[in-house]
A and B are shown apart, each in its own frame.
Chain A
Amino acid sequence: MRILFVNNLGAGFADYVNIADNTTIEQFFAIKMQDQHEADYLIRVNRMPVPKDYILQEGDRVTITPTKIEGARPVMA
């Protein structure tokens, strides 16, 4: 099954990924965002918040955005 995964962590990317059938959003997060806490991320499926036992469907759009992003003063060359 193929879904669109938008990862806004680090460099950020949006790409299609293959996942097993009946994968819940919680399992998907655990696979893709290893060692990360769900509470630190804004998770949306098809632009909407979903419960953690939501089972991902073919063609779903999953967006994961960190809620804490550290700004920084630009380094002068």
Chain B
Amino acid sequence: MRKENFMKKQKNLIRLSNLLLDSLNELKKARLQQIQTMMDDFNVKCSEATKDSNLFRTAVEKGWLIGADDIRSKISRNINDFSYHLQRFKEFINADETSLPNFSDIYAELLQMEQEFGDVKFDLEGKFLSVTTDPITLEGIPLGPFEVSLPINRISKLYSDSPYRVIALKPNPASCNESVTHPHVSDEMLCEGEGHVAIRIALEQGRICDFFTMIVNILQTYNPSSPHVALDEWDGISCYDCGCTVDKENAYYCSSCERDFCECCTSYCHSCDETICLGCGTECPDCGELVCESCLIECSQCGSRLCRCCAEEGDLCSECRDIAEDNENVEQTKTDNEKENKNEKQDKCSKKRKANAKV
């Protein structure tokens, strides 16, 4: 029975080695295709230079001096472009000295992985290889164990995408961002930082064990200068407005929109003293103070909304109140004038009456 299990395991390791080898061949092919594309670009630049050279020769021979000068300027402009492409092409073609591993190298890598990590999973159906880390605690914050999973058919996507995923098995994500399960992992993608090139080269060269070792070592290290969420803000709250992280004690809750905010993004209602965010506060057109939605009252005249304090002096805004006061004054003046006119008429009548009596 034990021998059978051993044989089965050996068979699986052999099959997995072959799968990995095929995928690494695909990766090499992708790399060579990149070189081919770059070479094609370079060839286009070369043929443009040849074309310009022929034009220049013709122009000089025919004595078209102005035309020759124009072509010379064009060549001068293109030369900078040409040397840039040449330099890039040189760097790219020299960097590709990756020799493909053979079957026994890959097989040895898989055996080494078992020695180093113990818990190595390979699923021949789903075609992925994964290791599980020990529970990780950084600066006193438990982040739980992580599974580093490498789908074998994604190895060839190394140059366009991250081919592996880092999955938190007992996630303790940052309270301000659920997708950040580790200071350097967001949406199951590891930000490799200084390990980026070494990880890529390890995979290109089929050093699968080194590839996983470096990823695990990054997970066990904290770089405080460039995390997705800093560990000292791990349990903090993210301001809904500006996105900065604040301690729970220093966060402000807006009861209007039911969200948390930092000090800079909050104010208070000058009418009821309730904490409100800047988005939920409205400036009273009369006094200019910020008030919450429930403390706003509509002006019965123009419909504009004003705070309770300003509405206490009648349910009119200052503008409508001024107009109303002006109208009242006009009415009063009218009444006064009418009274005056009446009095004048009465005086005139009484004077006339007196004069008539004398006569």
Interface residues, chain A, with chain B CB atoms under 8 Å away: 6, 8-14, 42, 44, 47-48, 63, 65-74
Which one of B198, B214, B226 contacts A72 once the chains associate, using CB atoms below 8 Å? B226
Interchain nearest-CB distance for A71 vs B (Å): 3
- Asked whether A66 and B217 contact (CB < 8 A) given A6-B210, A71-B192, A72-B184, the answer is yes
6 examples of A-B residue contacts, CB within 8 angstroms: A12-B202, A44-B112, A47-B108, A71-B227, A73-B226, A73-B228
Interface presence of B221 (CB below 8 A): yes
- Nearest residue in B to A44 (C-beta to C-beta)? B112
Q: Are B207 and A14 in contact (CB under 8 A)?
A: yes
Q: What number of residue pairs across chains A and B have CB atoms under 8 A from each other?
A: 87
Q: Is the interface of B mostly helix, strand, loop or mixed?
A: helix
Q: Mark B200-223, 1 if CB is under 8 A from A, else 0.
A: 011001010110011001111101
Distance in angstroms between the alpha carbons of A13 and B223 in the assembled complex: 24
Q: Are B201 and A68 in contact (CB under 8 A)?
A: no
**Chain B residues positioned under 8 Å from A10 (CB to CB):** 194, 197-198
- Asked whether A70 and B214 contact (CB < 8 A) given A9-B198, A10-B198, A47-B209, the answer is no
Distance in angstroms between the alpha carbons of A71 and B219 in the assembled complex: 8
Interface presence of B190 (CB below 8 A): yes
Interface residues, chain B, with chain A CB atoms under 8 Å away: 108, 111-112, 115, 183-184, 190-195, 197-199, 201-202, 205, 207, 209-210, 213-214, 217-221, 223, 225-228
Q: Are B198 and A8 in contact (CB under 8 A)?
A: yes
**Chain A residues positioned under 8 Å from B205 (CB to CB):** 14
Q: Is the interface of A mostly helix, strand, loop or mixed?
A: loop
**Chain A residues positioned under 8 Å from B183 (CB to CB):** 71
**Chain A residues positioned under 8 Å from B111 (CB to CB):** 47
Q: Are A69 and B201 in contact (CB under 8 A)?
A: no
- Asked whether A72 and B108 contact (CB < 8 A) given A8-B210, A11-B201, the answer is no
Q: Are B108 and A71 in contact (CB under 8 A)?
A: no
Interchain nearest-CB distance for B275 vs A (Å): 32
Central interface residue in B111, B192, B195, by most chain A CB within 10 Å: B195
Distance in angstroms between the alpha carbons of A45 and B347 in the assembled complex: 129
Q: Are A70 and B202 in contact (CB under 8 A)?
A: no
Distance in angstroms between the alpha carbons of A14 and B205 in the assembled complex: 9
Nearest 10 CB-CB pairings of A with B: A12-B198, A71-B184, A72-B193, A70-B223, A72-B226, A69-B195, A71-B193, A47-B112, A71-B218, A68-B221
